[in-house]
Amino acid sequence: MKKFFKSKKASIISLLLILCLVFSTLVFASQDSNKQSNKVKNVILMIPDGMTIAHTTLARWYQGGEPLSMDEIACGLVRTYSANNPITDSAPAATAYATGYKTQNRYLSIYPEIASMPGVGQVEEKDFFKPIVTILEAAKKFGKSTGLVVTCQFPHATPAAFAAHTDNRNDYESIAEQMVYNQVDVVLGGGWKYIDKNQRKDKEDLVQYLRDNGFVVTTKWEDLKNESPRKVWGLFAQDAMHYEFDRNGTDKPSLAEMTQKALQILSKNKNGFFLMVEGSEIDWASHANDPVGVVSEVLAFDKAVKVALDFAKSRDDTAVIIAPDHNNGGMTLGNYSAQVDSVLLNDFLKYIKKAKRTGSGIEDLLGNNRTDENIKKIVSQYYGVDNLTQDEIDAIKKAPAGRLNYVLGPIISKRSYIGWTTNEHTGEDVVLYAYHPNGYVPHGVIDNTEVCDYIADILGIDLGSFNENSYISNVDLEEKGYNVTIDTSNPNNIQLVISSKGKTYIVPQNKNAVIEGNKQYTLKYVSAYITSAKRFFVSSEIEEILK
């Protein structure tokens, strides 16, 4: 009996162990299955530059209170501070979205030298200024197609952060060259002059380089309307494109049309794609305190959101993330003149609804004819304002070229009870929006770096592995015993010169090339010369070439 009891007890224990093992297997299998179901093939990241809740509220009222396309997927808030400041500029804000790391103001996708904000880790001194591989660059190495769609000039801060590395966000020519050599598959927006050899200081023929590498390069939307080449750069303005309200009647595409075309092209890749779409000029209208420009660009962006969401909802492999990079202007619906119950909805909208052009569009219409009578005529015809003061007329006369919206914006704002606190960025959190086919989206308050972490997670990309030993500097090469100099004799074409085993290797800045005599090698990543640090960074596999 005792023996039987022991045997029975052992059997029960064995059975329990088996049940636990089966249960654990099922749990882990379920977890693995859920984890796998969170993966997507395509990600569309949309950045409404400088957009705040006040912006979306005004745009919603402008269209009669109807919801915006993005409203249904609002899910949280994003903290926007940079590595060294509670108020970020667009370069480090976009860097956080592109790399998952904070950097300091004016820097694009390089590690910061200064990390003074709470919770921001300081990198080792040897890594100061080192380029950080972006989610776009990693997606490309992962076999995915990549795209950038903007209304600004393409080397501007936000798009640049995804395909370039520099300590100077305003060095458009170097940034443009890096972006070209990064071979982003689809680039649509403005900025032709930055690839045109006749307008570049270094006379580099970047147009020909793209064409030699299989890209269609055009300035005409007509060339793309009915065509879908696999790789294309369509740049439809010398510099930035027009605001949406000012684009009407032109042959230039809208942000929504460019987004549609990019999706049509990128979705041909069976491995999927990463696409960044920026509503670039929401930010610019906010800098000018121009509520007409704000409405113009928020609604144009929201139409692009609809295109993206329609695409994503028509399939089960695409996520859409919408995240402003920062606030701008301190815009409010209500100013010091507005009292509760004293201002009706029409008081906010009557002049904005009458507006047919933004402040920039009015400047184009006025041209050099800034007489009192012409100013009153144009402002009345396109804004419905018939009571300009003499001070306002004089201010319009004196507005510098390209800055008339900074005068007209406040004129309309004052009459519309819209307040502004600044012409610059502000530091509050921004609204996060996200769509995932299986509902796997971030919630609550997250850091801007976590947006990139989320994108990498759902794409199944280990972004950290791409950054392990990705770049090596001239200092590192010297410590390894190579004879290294930085040739700055031509400031428009700085080169790293390396001597090894009787051979001389030339590494031009902003390219992914190494030249040794008649031989040319292609590197994984573009090289970058960091001017403020006088350090040259090159893709680390150069060491295999030097051996």
CATH assignment of the domain containing 516: 3.30.457.10
Residues of the chain with pLDDT under 70: 1-36
Binding site for Zn(2+), by residue number, is 49, 283, 287, 325-326, 425
Catalytic residues: 90
In a domain, 391, yes or no: yes
| Residue 249 pLDDT | 74
Instruction: Give the chain's length.
Output: 547
Which of these three, 395, 419, 443, is where a domain ends? 419
| Residue 547 pLDDT | 86
| Residue 370 pLDDT | 96
* Number of structural domains in the chain: 2
How far is Cα 501 from Cα 539, in angstroms, rounded to an integer? 20
How far is Cα 55 from Cα 270, in angstroms, rounded to an integer? 37
Residue with token string 């090289």: 527
In a domain, 403, yes or no: yes
Give me the residues paired with residue 319 across strands.
Answer: 43
| Residue 217 pLDDT | 97
Half-sphere exposure of 12 toward its Cβ, with a 13 Å CA cutoff?
Answer: 6
In a domain, 413, yes or no: yes
How far is Cα 149 from Cα 189, in angstroms, rounded to an integer? 6
Six-digit token string for 389: 């003061």
Which of these three, 419, 453, 479, is where a domain ends? 419
| Residue 11 pLDDT | 53
Q: Nearest Cα to 433, choosing from 457, 451, 412, 418?
A: 451
In a domain, 233, yes or no: no
| Residue 18 pLDDT | 53
Range of the domain at 518: 471-546
| Residue 29 pLDDT | 44
In a domain, 381, yes or no: yes
Binding site for Mg(2+), by residue number, is 49, 156, 158, 278
In a domain, 22, yes or no: no
In a domain, 408, yes or no: yes
C-alpha Rg value of the chain to the nearest Å: 27
pTM (two decimals): 0.93
Q: Which domain CATH number covers 372?
A: 1.10.60.40
In a domain, 80, yes or no: no
Which of these three, 389, 419, 449, is where a domain ends? 419
320 — phi, psi (to 5°)?
Answer: -125, 125
